[in-house]
Chains A and B, each alone.
Chain A
Amino acid sequence: QQQVKQSPQSLIVQKGGISIINCAYENTAFDYFPWYQQFPGKGPALLIAIRPDVSEKKEGRFTISFNKSAKQFSLHIMDSQPGDSATYFCAASMRGGSEKLVFGKGTKLTVNP
């Protein structure tokens, strides 16, 4: 059972465009939702994260939109640049216990110049 479903699997965007990646979760106990960016051969880097008490969080060109009732959250990359080309993973975790992250399957983003 996949607890965090991520789509699309791959995404191609033109430079300057908006990249949108979506995730849906099943476990209502999740209360921390980070996004990670991973370049080939490197470890994931934390990009931005949100808690369910807010509906949106923005950091520079990156925005998370969160819909608690729909159990969905998404990453928006404004003014996408070729340097943003990477694989993006959404994740979720819950307080208490080990707080381990449950990852989506990833989205490979390609931003064409």
Chain B
Amino acid sequence: GAVVSQHPSWVICKSGTSVKIECRSLDFQATTMFWYRQFPKQSLMLMATSNEGSKATYEQGVEKDKFLINHASLTLSTLTVTSAHPEDSSFYICSARDVGMAENTIYFGEGSWLTVV
């Protein structure tokens, strides 16, 4: 199946610094990518929808200035957590929609663990 790659898989950063997470669709073009946050033993919470060449659409309650999303190409979206704080520690997962598939199937990356100390 289609592959979505996330990097880094895990990162530890100091409070107050910024961290960038990359999401790449490896074998298909993705005009739309999605960023999720998942807390332990909970479901995925959609943070924002990333559209290639335009501004991301953020879900209610998600701070757009804190979670910067850039979708510069058809295969790459990035999430930057700015001025990170311990409460931002979480599992961040991206997904990408393969518009080449009849079902417009959405594939997920492996996730990125962020720990802010």
Closest A residue by C-beta to B107: A46
A59 to chain B, nearest CB (A): 12
Contact A106/B105 with A42-B111, A98-B32 known, Cβ cut-off 8 Å: no
Return the CB mask of B89-105 against A: 1 if under 8 Å, else 0.
Answer: 00101010100000111
Contact A41 B111 (CB under 8 A): yes
Interface of B, secondary structure class, is strand
Contact A89/B44 with A34-B106, A36-B108, A46-B105 known, Cβ cut-off 8 Å: yes
Contact B97 A43 (CB under 8 A): no
Interface residue range, chain B: 20 to 34
Query: Which of A43, A98, A103 makes the CB contact (< 8 A) with B6?
Result: A43
What is the interface of chain A, defined by CB distance below 8 A to chain B? Answer: 32, 34, 36, 41-46, 49, 51, 89, 93, 95, 98-101, 103-106, 108
